Amino acid sequence: MKFFIDTANLEQIREAQSLGILDGVTTNPSLMAKEGIVGDENIIQHYKTICEIVDGDVSAEVLSTDYEGMIKEGEELAALHPQIVVKVPVTKDGIKAIKYLSDKGIKTNCTLIFSPGQALLAAKAGATYVSPFIGRLDDNASDGVDLIYKIVDMFGTYGIRTQVLAASIRHTMHIIQCAEAGADVATCPLDAILGLLKHPLTDIGLEKFIADSKKMGK
Ligand code: E4P
């Protein structure tokens, strides 16, 4: 499973990259706004900076909601850097835009997926990734991880090559559950990734090794 970081925060992206395990980045308008990125020039520069920090795919979301606007923005975003993946919402215009962009060889990430049917349409349109939002489903008393199982199973049945990018991950256990479900990618907050390292027996074991190493004259 690939690990993407789900943030527009450059410090966190650098920290995740320095771990050597980062495969890409996802952003969305809320994450960009949270970092105070305002205005076309700053937005463009921010995406370019992220692409310079990481080696993998960087999702940049279109802000238009109509087909013409989405394809114009999508082509502009894709022209910024070869690592850019154009993120498009799963609406009627969005599906048409994904078809147009994927036919042009532009990578796309279909976002705001909450059902297997939405994922199927996005895949049919040629999306590189589909992003099911598991945390938001859990927030609404639905089983988010179950949606990952369903989409992975369906794509497996038909040999669909669109990658399942588990999004809206809230905590470390979600990452494990997405891996068990067969997600191709999990996009995670940095804390959730770092949570994978935590185990009290590791801390206790390391303390003992350090104490014993002193007996070895170290
Ligand atoms: C990433 O692609 C999504 O936009 C993001 O994971 C949504 O997360 P949220 O539900 O925590 O806002």
How would residue 218 be classed by pLDDT, with cut points 50, 70 and 90? confident
Q: Which of 83, 87, 113 is nearest to 17 (CA)?
A: 83
CB 94 within 8 A of CB 88: yes
pLDDT tens sequence across 82-124: 999 999 999 999 999 999 999 999 999 999 999 999 999 999 9
CA 37 to chain centre: 19
Say yes or no: CB of residue 4 within 6 Å of ligand 1.
no
Q: How many Å lie between the centroid of ligand 1 and the Cα of residue 204?
A: 35
Pick from 133, 136, 139, 178 the residue to mutate for probing ligand 1's pocket: most ligand atoms within 8 Å of its CB: 133
pLDDT tens sequence across 205-214: 999 999 999 9
How would residue 70 be classed by pLDDT, with cut points 50, 70 and 90? very high
Pick from 3, 4, 5, 6 the residue to mutate for probing ligand 1's pocket: most ligand atoms within 8 Å of its CB: 6
Say yes or no: CB of residue 133 within 6 Å of ligand 1.
yes
CB 6 within 8 A of CB 167: yes
Q: Which of 13, 49, 71, 24 is nearest to 165 (CA)?
A: 24
Q: How many Å lie between the centroid of ligand 1 and the Cα of residue 164?
A: 14
Q: How many Å lie between the centroid of ligand 1 and the Cα of residue 217?
A: 50
Q: Verify whether residue 214 is a known catalytic residue.
A: no
Options 2, 87, 150, 208, the catalytic residue: 87
Say yes or no: CB of residue 6 within 6 Å of ligand 1.
yes
Q: What share of the chain is helix, strand, coil (3-state, %, to 5)?
A: 55, 20, 30
Which residue shows structure tokens 């995670």?
188
Backbone angles phi, psi at 27, to 5 degrees: -125, 165
Say if residue 164's pLDDT is above 90.
Answer: yes
> Which pLDDT belongs to residue 217?
84
**Residue bearing the CA closest to ligand 1, atom 12:** 168
Mean pLDDT of 17-42: 97
Say if residue 186's pLDDT is above 90.
Answer: yes
Mean pLDDT for all residues in the chain: 98
β-bridge mates for residue 164, sequence order: 130
> Which pLDDT belongs to residue 125?
98
Mean pLDDT of 141-156: 98
Mean pLDDT of 150-178: 98
